[in-house]
Amino acid sequence: MRIAVIGTGYVGLVSGACLADFGHQVTCVDLDHDKIAALRAGRIPIFEPGLDRLVADNAAAGRLGFSIDLEPAVAEADVVFIAVGTPSRRGDGYADLSYVHAAAASIARALSGFTVVVTKSTVPVGTGDEVERIIAETNPDADVAVVSNPEFLREGAAIEDFKRPDRIVVGLEDERARAVMEEVYRPLYLNQAPILVTGRRTAELTKYAANAFLAMKITFINEIADLCEKTGANVQEVARGIGLDNRIGPKFLNAGPGYGGSCFPKDTLALLRIGHDHDSPLRLVETTVAVNDQRKRAMGRKVIAACGGDVRGKTVAVLGLTFKPNTDDMREAPSIAVVQALVDAGARVRAYDPEGMAAARAVLPPVDYAENAYEAATDADALVLVTEWNEFRSLDLERLRQTMRAPVLVDLRNVYRRAEVEAQGFSYCCIGRPAATERAAAARAAE
């Protein structure tokens, strides 16, 4: 099939490359001349493991191309995916649909013959109706079927998620689109990926509901972690205890500094606005958003407390800046609030992240940047682990202690075992694992 993908951001680029790898002929279109020139030259504007090779292989095979010219790409396409951004609108949290609407109008002017237009972007309920209206108004002769096909890609594992998805959700109102979408995803039938064909509005809401539920799950275990610290329970064991229940499951039950990224923050806000507009408030989601926002700043206070309550004039090393490992995405990253709290309290912050430092410079207050974890820790009064990159999971603790001014480790991802850290002379602070509880458990295990 011939496919046009409008937008070469995270979703558009990953989707386009994977669809080309399925054997389709794909053209990715973007108005940004510099980005298209870079992609044609093999330079990938985002960090996503394996994406550079996937793009290169399919471009070399002639299945994947990049263009700034929308009209010929759409005119030749059987399917057109809209994969433009839908950021939170400034001031009110609504999803900004201006890029989606502009893309729909441009697509309408270029259509030739029956075409399936697919909204891949995360959009509020009813957006497909509006896309259909815009196309009909712009080009009354257009023969289209508008489909919702939300993405469920995890940054850092997006290619695997696209090729081996938990499910594929297709929302349609025109039955002609069913066979077309089945052909788009035909290679996935070999993996028996479940395809849910439903109404367009249902598909649109499914995406928001999924992200809001996962955000609530993260926020729930974070609040349980706080309770564990007050009561002497161990949040990791609580999480295992509830996660073994098949109705709950173990994923998204790792306590930490709060969720961030490009999806959960904006999608929960957008869902709240959808609920308000339809006189159906979502109180659980409202609380999730409020608790998560407060938690990020609270992590800064936790670091200050671990340093004796005062960091003025002290150097704090921060390891990990991106909102999660295996991405360079700094959007709504917990590190932003943590670093800001430390700077506001008078600390000097020295940071290191394997992939995110270029993006971090645009959003963090002035900090020093190091070449590696050990350089960041040199002469530091505390070391804070914010993002659990693999290279931070097996740090040489003895080397760190020798290079630091004060051996204080604040582990906001619960990567390390207390006994191992304290054996190297560190003061150790983590999430939801009180010292007395862990020491007692270690003593029982040693008996």
pLDDT at residue 426 tops 70? yes
Q: Give the Cα separation of 403 and 7 in Å (integer).
A: 46
Q: What is the mean pLDDT of residues 250-272?
A: 96
441 band by pLDDT with thresholds 50, 70 and 90: confident
In angstroms, the CA 365 to CA 316 distance is 14
pLDDT given at position 157: 95
At the topology level, CATH places domain 2-198 in Rossmann fold (3.40.50)
Q: pLDDT class for 336, splitting at 50, 70, 90?
A: very high
Which phi and psi angles does 170 have, rounded to 5°?
A: -125, 115
pLDDT in tens, 22-68: 999 999 999 999 999 999 999 999 999 999 999 999 999 999 999 99
Residues sharing a CB contact under 8 Å with residue 313, sequence separation 6 or more, in sequence order: 346, 347, 348
- For the stretch 350-402, pLDDT in tens is 999 999 999 999 999 999 999 999 999 999 999 999 999 999 999 999 999 99
If pLDDT is split at 50, 70 and 90, which confidence band does 447 have? low
Q: What is the pLDDT, as a whole number, of residue 436?
A: 82
Contacts for 379 with CB less than 8 Å, ≥ 6 apart: 315, 403, 404, 405
| Positions marked catalytic | 263
Q: Which CATH class is domain 222-446?
A: alpha beta
134 band by pLDDT with thresholds 50, 70 and 90:
very high
Residue range(s) occupied by CATH 3.40.50.720 in the chain: 2-198, 222-446
Q: What is residue 408's predicted lDDT score, i.e. its pLDDT?
A: 98
Band of pLDDT at residue 90, cut at 50, 70 and 90: confident
Question: Mean pLDDT score of the chain, rounded to an integer?
Answer: 96
pLDDT score at 92: 87
Q: What is the pLDDT of residue 438?
A: 78
Span 96-118, average pLDDT:
97
